[in-house]
Amino acid sequence: MGNYEMMEKEEIFSKVLRAGRRTYFFDVRATKAGDYYITITESKKFTNDDGSFHYKKHKIYLYKEDFNEFNTILKEMTDYVISEKGNEVISERHQKDFKRDFEVTSNESTQETTTENPSESRFTDVDFDDI
């Protein structure tokens, strides 16, 4: 095994963030020249019908020359989300009655539309072979 392959396997610095079914791995690795870069790996656990499971992984390589711009954009994006939606998590997974609230709102909107002008709610069958 060459020097580079050993460095690739060597843990220079690592952190793990567990978030439900997802786990994020932040690793510092070394280039052939001995400089450092970061890999960010998202790993999601999926359960098969038979009870067995597997993981799907996605990896990002982040090099030093991109750190400043990456940090700036990441901060801008996270600040935007927090300013627009706050810190509270709103989703089906975290809010048990999310679907019910959504369905009630959707049904009310549909009822308003159909009572005002029923002809607008009709659909036409489209065959995608014709497009």
| pLDDT at 117 exceeding the cut of 60 | no
Task: For residue range 10-38, list pLDDT tens digits in order.
Answer: 679 999 999 888 899 999 999 989 999 99
Q: What percent of the chain has pLDDT over 90?
A: 43
d(CA 52, CA 42): 20
d(CA 33, CA 11): 17
- Ordered by where they begin, the domains of the chain are 3-68+84-114 (3.10.450.700)
Task: Please say whether the beta carbons of 29 and 8 come within 8 A.
Answer: yes
What's the pTM value of the predicted model, to 2 decimals? 0.58
Q: How much is the average pLDDT of 48-64?
A: 90
Task: Please say whether the beta carbons of 57 and 43 come within 8 A.
Answer: yes
Single-letter amino acid, residue 108: E
Helix (H, G, I), strand (E, B) or coil at 90: coil
pLDDT at 54: 85
